[in-house]
Amino acid sequence: MKKKPIILGIESSCDETAASVVQENDQGIPTILSNIVSSQINVHKEFGGVVPELAARSHVEKIDLITKKAIDESGIKLEDLNAVAATAGPGLIVCLSVGLSFGKAVASSLKKPFIAVNHLEGHALSPKLNSKLNYPYLLLLISGGHTQFLSVQGLGKYKRLGTTIDDAIGEAFDKTAKLLGIEFPGGPKIEEFAKKGDSKKYELPKPIMHKGGCNLSFAGLKTAVLKIATKIKTDQEKYDLAASFQKTVEEILYKKSKIAFKEFKNINTKKNNVFVVAGGVAANKKIRKILIKLCEEENFKAVFPPINLCGDNAAMIAMVGLEKFKLKQFNNLDYPAKPRWALDESAKFLKGAGVKL
Ligand code: KG4
Ligand code: ZN
């Protein structure tokens, strides 16, 4: 029997240095052989956010060791690889350049094809790792840098239905956390604080809740949190603000997802009511719960990648690489790092708003 393709994936777009080996199994499902992620949380936490130069330096220090570990753990030999895939964007250019150059060097030294991958495509297709999922499906991508609804029609075929007009949802979580004195990245801690608080204590705004289709906005919410946070004195008040913030975000996502369901059904005649929620913020259990409830009400199937595949990782990059490999979609070694790279190129500008995203 013909050997199933094996792909090495490399990811360094932000503050995670990651490498992974993925192989297609006999049922045609991409299967993870190894998945190594080295987080830089300790490098950035005292700065309250990712410092690009420090992140890039840390990628340079670790990328070879992480890749060696991924190869060793997978049980394959370097020569067994069919291709090398690396994230080419979007992300921090100094960080992208590290993984991209390294990936190109490995591919070229092995004389194997090189494949440039869009990080967002990795998140978008991540639920296809280790499981079967048919196109089209509706995707809500919620991460530190992105918040968007996309109709995923197939590999490389995306239609954006809505996006944030200002901050990303993960950014709102992290900034709220910072105001409450929580170290970066504070999203998971906000979820913990919220469990101990009263979600009705503070009335927070839900910007563009009743307009803009399924576009979203979090800047006004962040400002409102800032105003309250400056007056807060006790730990209980911190918990209450975290709980009020968490509840507000849940209500925004519930309402906007409901609109996105309608828009998804309008553009897809082929019925496949599947709602995939991916990206770092999809690890939030209460957000999962409210979106599962919505799916039950609206007759959609809810799909969440496993928690360890929600955040940045290289398995999702290797998996996109595998899909592209099967279609012989290879790239030249002069492929550039792209700090901005929309999945739906036709939707770069928000209709009517003149806002570049
Ligand atoms: O996808 P990701 O790892 O990196 C980007 O591509 O941005 O997402 C990171 C974001 C951070 O903002 C982090 O605070 C947030 O995901 N996050 C969470 C949770 N876990 C991670 N936000 C809310 N609740 C969580 N449990
Ligand atoms: Zn990401």
Domain formed by 135-304, architecture: 2-Layer Sandwich (3.30)
Ligand 1 proximity of 185 Cβ (cutoff 6 Å): yes
Ligand 1 proximity of 337 Cβ (cutoff 6 Å): no
Higher pLDDT, 17 or 39: 17
pLDDT at position 354 is 35
pLDDT at position 1 is 66
pLDDT at position 349 is 52
Kindly tell me if the per-residue pLDDT of 306 is higher than 70: yes
Supply the residue whose CA is at minimum distance from atom 13 of ligand 1.
Answer: 187
Q: What are the residues whose beta carbons fall under 8 Å from the beta carbon of 201, sequence distance 6 or more? A: 237, 240, 241, 243, 244
Ligand 1 proximity of 113 Cβ (cutoff 6 Å): no
| Per-residue pLDDT reduced to its tens digit, 168-177 | 999 999 999 9
Higher pLDDT, 95 or 1: 95
Q: Residue 152: left if φ>0, alpha if ψ -120 to 50, beta else—which one?
A: beta
Ligand 1 proximity of 187 Cβ (cutoff 6 Å): yes
Higher pLDDT, 225 or 356: 225
Domain boundaries, the chain: 6-127+309-326, 135-304
Q: What is the band of 353 on the pLDDT scale with cuts at 50, 70, 90?
A: very low
Tell me if 38 sits within 8 A of 21, measured CB to CB: no
Q: What's the mean pLDDT in 83-97? A: 96
State yes or no: cis peptide before 30, omega within 30 of 0.
no
Q: What's the mean pLDDT in 77-91? A: 97
Q: Do domains 6-127+309-326 and 135-304 have the same CATH topology?
A: yes
Ligand 1 proximity of 15 Cβ (cutoff 6 Å): no
Q: Which of these ranges, 85-94, 178-187, 189-198, 340-349, has the smallest mean pLDDT? A: 340-349
pLDDT at position 3 is 83
Tell me if 290 sits within 8 A of 250, measured CB to CB: yes
Supply the residue whose CA is at minimum distance from atom 7 of ligand 1.
Answer: 144
Give the per-residue SS3 of the chain: CCCCCEEEEEECCCCEEEEEEEEECCCCCEEEEEEEEEECHHHHHHHCCCCHHHHHHHHHHHHHHHHHHHHHHHCCCHHHCCEEEEEEECCCHHHHHHHHHHHHHHHHHHCCCEEEEEHHHHHHHHHHCCCCCCCCEEEEEECCCCEEEEEEEECCEEEEEEEECCCCHHHHHHHHHHHCCCCCCCHHHHHHHHHCCCCCCCCCCCCCCCCCCCCECCHHHHHHHHHHHCCCCCHHHHHHHHHHHHHHHHHHHHHHHHHHHHHHHHHCCCCCCEEEEECHHHHCHHHHHHHHHHHHHHCCEEECCCHHHHCCCCHHHHHHHHHHHHCCCCECCCCCCCCCCCCCHHHCECCCCCCEC
> How many whole angstroms from 312 Cα to the centroid of ligand 2?
5
In the numeric block, the tokens 């094996």 are attached to 6
- Atom of ligand 1 at shortest range from CA of 169: 12
- Which phi and psi (to 5°) does residue 157 adopt? -120, 105
Kindly tell me if the per-residue pLDDT of 357 is higher than 60: no
> How many whole angstroms from 14 Cα to the centroid of ligand 2?
8
Helix 285-298 vs helix 187-195: angle between axes, to the nearest 10 degrees? 80
CATH topology of domain 6-127+309-326: Nucleotidyltransferase; domain 5 (3.30.420)
- Atom of ligand 1 at shortest range from CA of 119: 6
Kindly tell me if the per-residue pLDDT of 10 is higher than 50: yes
Ligand 1 proximity of 260 Cβ (cutoff 6 Å): no
Kindly tell me if the per-residue pLDDT of 36 is higher than 70: yes
41, 139, 281, 312: residue to mutate for ligand 1 pocket, most atoms within 8 A of CB: 281
Ligand 1 proximity of 5 Cβ (cutoff 6 Å): no
> How many whole angstroms from 349 Cα to the centroid of ligand 1?
25
In the numeric block, the tokens 């995923």 are attached to 152
In the numeric block, the tokens 């060097």 are attached to 105
> Which one, of 278, 262, 235, 7, lies nearest residue 116 by Cα?
7
Q: How far apart are CA 14 and CA 59, in angstroms?
A: 9
Tokens of 93: 């250019």
Q: What's the mean pLDDT in 248-255? A: 98
Residue type, 327: L
Q: How far apart are CA 248 and CA 50, in angstroms?
A: 26
Q: How far apart are CA 268 and CA 274, in angstroms?
A: 12
Ligand 1 proximity of 50 Cβ (cutoff 6 Å): no
Question: What percentage of the chain has pLDDT greater than the value 90?
Answer: 83
Tell me which ligand sits closest to the C-alpha of residue 15.
1
Tell me if 163 sits within 8 A of 210, measured CB to CB: no
> How many whole angstroms from 145 Cα to the centroid of ligand 2?
7
Q: What's the mean pLDDT in 8-24? A: 96
Q: What is the band of 356 on the pLDDT scale with cuts at 50, 70, 90?
A: very low
| Per-residue pLDDT reduced to its tens digit, 153-197 | 999 999 999 999 999 999 999 999 999 999 877 899 999 999 999
Q: What's the mean pLDDT in 88-116? A: 97
Tell me if 153 sits within 8 A of 165, measured CB to CB: no
Kindly tell me if the per-residue pLDDT of 355 is higher than 60: no
- Atom of ligand 1 at shortest range from CA of 287: 24
Cα–Cα separations (whole angstroms), residue 72 to 8, 20, 22, 105: 12, 10, 13, 19
- HSE-CB at 27 with a 13 A cutoff on CA atoms is 8
Tell me if 224 sits within 8 A of 252, measured CB to CB: no
Q: What's the mean pLDDT in 270-276? A: 91
Question: What percentage of the chain has pLDDT greater than the value 70?
Answer: 97
Within 10 angstroms of residue 301's Cβ, the number of other Cβ atoms is 13
Kindly tell me if the per-residue pLDDT of 7 is higher than 60: yes
Q: Which of these ranges, 113-117, 294-298, 303-307, has the smallest mean pLDDT? A: 303-307
> How many whole angstroms from 8 Cα to the centroid of ligand 2?
18
**pTM of the predicted model as reported, rounded to 2 decimal places:** 0.91
- Atom of ligand 1 at shortest range from CA of 191: 24
Tokens of 257: 């997802």
